Amino acid sequence: MRRSVIGPHVLSTLLLVLSFAPSIASAQAKQAGAPNSSVALSPELVAVRASLAKYEDPLAAVRDGYFSTVGCIDFPHGAVDGPVTYPPGAMGVHFLNPANIGPKLDPTKPQVLIYEPVGAKLKLVAAEWLMPVAAAGGKAPEIFGQTLAGPMNGHEPIMPAELTHYDLHVWLWKDNPKGVFTSTNAAVKCDPKAPYTHIEGHHQR
């Protein structure tokens, strides 16, 4: 039996191809619709993202009790609302599930799903865990090793100002340059000319 021998030129070519393999795989993953994120999520957040994957279809969210608040919330200049600072960026369109609101937070049942308008479609970019102060028992709630921001007033027009609450945005499907848990995301865009874009530009104390 003859042994096949790999010549030096063939070997160098093979090594060159292998060196490009990670880049090729990454590009293929993005084409296949994998989340566009340069930030490594914790194993817990990866599992949460997988459990919520069906909500990439907004109609699935509606079937499970989420209601669109219609407006695309934008903070082009940032804002300060009590203890919370919003860097310049946007949030997107909030889908709220009242049935998930209560004194306990479930990683698989966020109170809010957030979508970015992209052309004629809504693209899932984040989830939000929210708890009214009245349900929190005098202590800021925690999830994913994070303390929810607040307390803060409700954000009109998507919720009454009287709804004082804590919340935590988690950018599971779109990279946030300021961090996974930052409230606004500069990579998310609301069309300023769209009739349902709501601009938040004022600063409150």
pLDDT digits (tens, 9 = 90+) for 51-70: 999 999 999 999 999 999 99
Closest CA to 169 of 177, 180, 155: 180
Asked whether residue 74 is domain-assigned, the answer is yes
Asked whether residue 191 is domain-assigned, the answer is yes
Asked whether residue 5 is domain-assigned, the answer is no
Asked whether residue 8 is domain-assigned, the answer is no
pTM of the model: 0.79
Asked whether residue 22 is domain-assigned, the answer is no
Q: Which structural domain, as residue segments, surrounds residue 180?
A: 43-199
Asked whether residue 153 is domain-assigned, the answer is yes
CB-based contact 75:90 (threshold 8 Å)? yes
Asked whether residue 78 is domain-assigned, the answer is yes
Which range (12-16, 60-64, 123-127, 153-157) has the least confidence?
12-16
Instruction: Please give the tally of structural domains in the chain.
Output: 1
- Token pair for 34: 């994998």
Asked whether residue 79 is domain-assigned, the answer is yes
